[in-house]
Amino acid sequence: MTSLLKSVVLSKQNVLRKNSGLIFNAVRNHWNYQYKPGPYPKTPEERAAAAKKYGLSIEEYQPYPEDMGYGDYPKLPDIGADSKDPHYPYDFPELKRNFNEPLHASAEIFGEDRYDISMRPRFSLLHQWTWFLGTLAGAFALYVYLEDYKVGRPVTAKQYPTDGPHYLFSPK
């Protein structure tokens, strides 16, 4: 009985030893309240503290306007992940991010598989509208031209008098 108890204790210790790294990582990183932006900086001291909080220099720190409601969160340039250098040694190369680098306020838009606002579009807006309206006009022209040429004619089968009566009521 003691060997069974000893094996159970050893297996629990192994589980704790294997999962302690996960527990340590979950605890040592930032807490959720640290992700929340602080109040909008009004004085130069508050501005310097906010720049230090986000790992930016005072010269490059620029908060969003106060009426937008982002608090002291920095206004980062609109550069998508697709425009970043693919050969730079990032801490997280799959996200093209470094550790403690602040995310853009609209980070869900700027992923590598999403819209990249810093890239020039392949076709101009005039070119896109020309193709769109040309396709609609062409489809409408085909509809108008082929309106009289239906695929199937709505005609019933011919009924001749020699085939018998073609009525459902009884004659007098």
Q: Dump pLDDT digits (tens) for 138-172.
A: 999 999 999 888 777 677 777 676 766 666 666 66
What's the rounded Cα separation, in Å, for the pair 87 and 92? 12
Predicted local distance difference test score (pLDDT) of residue 89:
95
Domains of the chain, by residue range, sit at 16-109
Predicted local distance difference test score (pLDDT) of residue 130:
98
- Point out the residues of the chain with pLDDT beneath 50: 16, 22-27
Torsion angle, alpha carbons of 79, 84, 89, 90, to 10: 30
14-22: long-range pairs with CB below 8 Å, 24+: none
State the DSSP string of the chain. Answer: -HHHHHHHHHHHHHHHHHHHHHHHHHHHS--GGGTS--PPP-SHHHHHHHHHHTT--TTT--BPPGGGT-TT-B------GGGS-TTS--SBTTTTB-TTPPPPTTTTTSSTTS--TTSPPSS-HHHHHHHHHHHHHHHHHHHHHTTTS-SS---PPP--GGG----SSPP-
What's the rounded Cα separation, in Å, for the pair 131 and 128? 5
| pTM summary value | 0.51
What does the angle CA 106 – CA 99 – CA 79 come to, to the nearest 5 degrees?
Answer: 35
Predicted local distance difference test score (pLDDT) of residue 63:
93
